[in-house]
């Protein structure tokens, strides 16, 4: 008897699980590995958020199933509405257009299960966040990958998606500011996308957990700013990256009421909701944390400059994307992405993510995350320089 379900054959081991075990193996043999691979902020959650959690966790009223209010606590959903209104001028009904999630990653799965029928095509970008690709076959859907190319500023060319694919497509997942490329979209692109999707009745799923991590020259955007977007769109967002809360598992999906309702129905049968104490501490973050977002941007901006200067000295020229805390860089010296990442790990114990981990259009690139202390970043950059110089003294500057 085959104990494991057939659908598991289509599900890859999650990328960062592989990388984490690789780091552990190196460290177990005394190696000092510096990881630039995982987008997990190094700074702690701000103290007043932890303090709020400490207070509310003592209230027994918060110890029971968080199912009184199905879409998450009303107070949490009201805070999400205030946050979206303040930041993007988007008006959301806390009753119908907001659902609390255990992180946006959970929402991606819920969406697939609530919306995608077996055989439906789901469009995703390539390169793209691995969470989309893995969840499509779980729902019995089929994947169609839309390339993101540097010559198009890493934006999808929607006119190139064949009409017969569009007719079978149920949804399109995309994300700007973009992981892994760091590219940002603008309002004009979002408007065109909404018009294109409405005409073809394709649901747009904008995964927006980096909406606040934008450097000068780009606008912070929500897809829901586009008039009429709610007719056909939902948007995920998350507290993970802005308030250093990746471990807390809290996020939200906002937008189309019907989709939110269906996702809620699926979710309440699976997770019963997010711990109330975490929702209450998150309200504090969303209502009072704007200064923390500013200081976070200062930190990543500083590291970004440091890294770009170092890569310039290594002869790796980059036109960096203006969003996220990632840098998407060309692999030097004609190596493949995987050869380069493996060589760095073997030679100097620095872990970067090969571009192909995000799809075949990531070939020729690697991704680096700026979520580590400045001194460790400086050390990693120095080691990378040594490795690149060693392999190709003639081409390194
Ligand atoms: C594009 C994208 N979507 C979703 C997530 C998951 O975020 P969360 O912590 O809210 O589940 C990530 C995390 O790296 C991401 O990069």
Please report which confidence band the pLDDT of residue 29 belongs to, taking 50, 70 and 90 as the band edges.
confident
CATH code of the domain occupying 6-45+291-391 = 3.90.1150.10
Q: Is the pTM of this model over 0.85?
A: yes
Q: Is 107 close to ligand 1, i.e. is its CB under 6 Å away?
A: no
Range scoring the smallest mean pLDDT among 115-119, 122-126, 221-225, 387-391: 387-391
Mutate to test the pocket of ligand 1, among 110, 131, 185, 282 (most ligand atoms within 8 A of CB): 131
CA of residue 5 to ligand 1 center, whole Å: 27
Please report which confidence band the pLDDT of residue 114 belongs to, taking 50, 70 and 90 as the band edges.
very high
Rounded Cα–Cα distance for residues 6 and 13 (Å) = 15
Delimiting residues of CATH 3.90.1150.10 domain(s) in the chain:
6-45+291-391
pLDDT at residue 11, as a whole number: 79
Q: Is 211 close to ligand 1, i.e. is its CB under 6 Å away?
A: no
pLDDT at residue 397, as a whole number: 35
Q: Is 175 close to ligand 1, i.e. is its CB under 6 Å away?
A: yes
pLDDT at residue 380, as a whole number: 98
* Span 229-233, average pLDDT: 98
CA of residue 78 to ligand 1 center, whole Å: 22
Mutate to test the pocket of ligand 1, among 16, 37, 103, 105 (most ligand atoms within 8 A of CB): 105
pLDDT at residue 391, as a whole number: 65
pLDDT at residue 394, as a whole number: 40
Average pLDDT in the chain = 94
Residues in the chain: 397
Question: Which atom of ligand 1 is least distant from the CA of 40?
Answer: 14
Please report which confidence band the pLDDT of residue 339 belongs to, taking 50, 70 and 90 as the band edges.
very high
* Span 366-374, average pLDDT: 98
Question: Which atom of ligand 1 is least distant from the CA of 241?
Answer: 9
Question: Which atom of ligand 1 is least distant from the CA of 101?
Answer: 10
Q: Is 178 close to ligand 1, i.e. is its CB under 6 Å away?
A: no
Name the nearest CA neighbour of 274 among 301, 306, 297, 240. 240
Contact (CB, 8 A) for 126 and 358: yes
Strand partners, 238: 251
Peptide bond into 18 cis (omega under 30): no
Decide if pLDDT at 235 tops 70.
Answer: yes
Question: Which atom of ligand 1 is least distant from the CA of 251?
Answer: 10
Q: What is the pLDDT of residues 306-330, one digit of tens each?
A: 999 999 999 998 889 999 999 999 9
Residue 194 neighbours by CB under 8 Å, 6+ apart: 204, 223, 226, 228, 229, 232, 233
Q: Is 367 close to ligand 1, i.e. is its CB under 6 Å away?
A: no
Mutate to test the pocket of ligand 1, among 238, 243, 250, 353 (most ligand atoms within 8 A of CB): 238
Q: Which of 8-22, 45-59, 65-79 has the highest mean pLDDT?
A: 45-59
Residue 243 neighbours by CB under 8 Å, 6+ apart: 45, 46, 49, 285, 289, 292, 293
pLDDT at residue 16, as a whole number: 65
Q: Is 340 close to ligand 1, i.e. is its CB under 6 Å away?
A: no
* Span 275-292, average pLDDT: 97
pLDDT at residue 68, as a whole number: 74
Mutate to test the pocket of ligand 1, among 128, 129, 183, 271 (most ligand atoms within 8 A of CB): 129
Q: Is 35 close to ligand 1, i.e. is its CB under 6 Å away?
A: no
Delimiting residues of CATH 3.40.640.10 domain(s) in the chain:
64-288
In the chain, what percentage of residues exceed pLDDT 70? 97
Q: Between 190 and 271, whose confidence is greater?
A: 190
Decide if pLDDT at 366 tops 90.
Answer: yes
Contact (CB, 8 A) for 94 and 80: yes
CATH code of the domain occupying 64-288 = 3.40.640.10
Question: Which atom of ligand 1 is least distant from the CA of 129?
Answer: 1
* Span 232-255, average pLDDT: 98
Q: Angle at CA 374, nearest 5°, toward 380 and 32?
A: 40
Our measurement of the distance from residue 339's CA atom to the centroid of its chain's CA atoms, rounded to an integer in Å, reads: 25
In the chain, what percentage of residues exceed pLDDT 90? 84
């Amino acid at each position: 008897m085959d104990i494991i379900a057939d659908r598991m054959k289509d599900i890859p081991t999650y990328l960062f699980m592989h990388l984490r075990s690789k780091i552990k193996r190196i460290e177990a043999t005394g190696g000092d590995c510096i990881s630039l691979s995982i987008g997990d902020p190094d700074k702690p959650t701000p103290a007043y958020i932890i303090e709020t959690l400490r207070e509310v966790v003592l209230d027994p009223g918060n110890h029971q199933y968080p199912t009184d209010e199905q879409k998450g606590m009303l107070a949490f959903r009201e805070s999400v509405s205030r946050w979206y209104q303040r930041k993007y001028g988007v008006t959301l009904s806390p009753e119908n257009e907001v659902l609390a999630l255990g992180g946006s990653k959970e929402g991606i799965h819920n969406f697939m299960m609530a919306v995608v029928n077996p055989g439906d095509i789901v469009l995703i970008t390539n390169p793209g966040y691995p969470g989309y690709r893995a969840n499509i076959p779980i729902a019995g859907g089929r994947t169609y990958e839309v390339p993101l190319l540097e010559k198009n500023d890493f934006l999808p060319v929607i006119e190139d998606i064949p009409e017969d694919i569009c007719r079978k497509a149920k949804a399109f997942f995309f994300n700007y500011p973009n992981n892994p490329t760091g590219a940002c979209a603008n309002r004009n692109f979002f408007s065109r996308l909404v018009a294109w999707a409405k005409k073809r009745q394709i649901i747009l799923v904008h995964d927006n957990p980096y909406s606040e991590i934008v450097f000068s020259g780009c606008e912070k955007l929500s897809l829901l700013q586009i008039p009429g977007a709610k007719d056909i769109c939902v948007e995920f967002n998350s507290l993970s990256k802005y308030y250093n809360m990746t471990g807390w598992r809290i996020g939200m999906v906002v937008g189309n009421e019907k989709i939110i309702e269906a996702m809620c129905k699926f979710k309440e049968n699976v997770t019963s909701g997010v711990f109330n104490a975490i929702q209450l501490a998150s309200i504090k973050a969303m209502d009072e944390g704007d200064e923390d977002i500013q200081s976070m941007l200062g930190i990543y901006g500083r590291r970004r400059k440091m890294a770009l200067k170092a890569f310039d000295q290594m002869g790796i020229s980059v036109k960096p994307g203006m969003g996220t805390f990632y840098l998407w860089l060309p692999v030097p010296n004609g190596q493949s992405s995987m050869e380069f990442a493996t060589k760095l790990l073997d030679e100097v114990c620095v872990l970067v993510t090969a571009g192909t981990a995000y799809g075949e259009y990531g070939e020729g690139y690697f991704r680096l995350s700026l979520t580590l202390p400045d001194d460790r970043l400086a050390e990693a950059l120095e080691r990378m320089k040594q490795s690149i110089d060693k392999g190709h003294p003639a081409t390194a500057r």
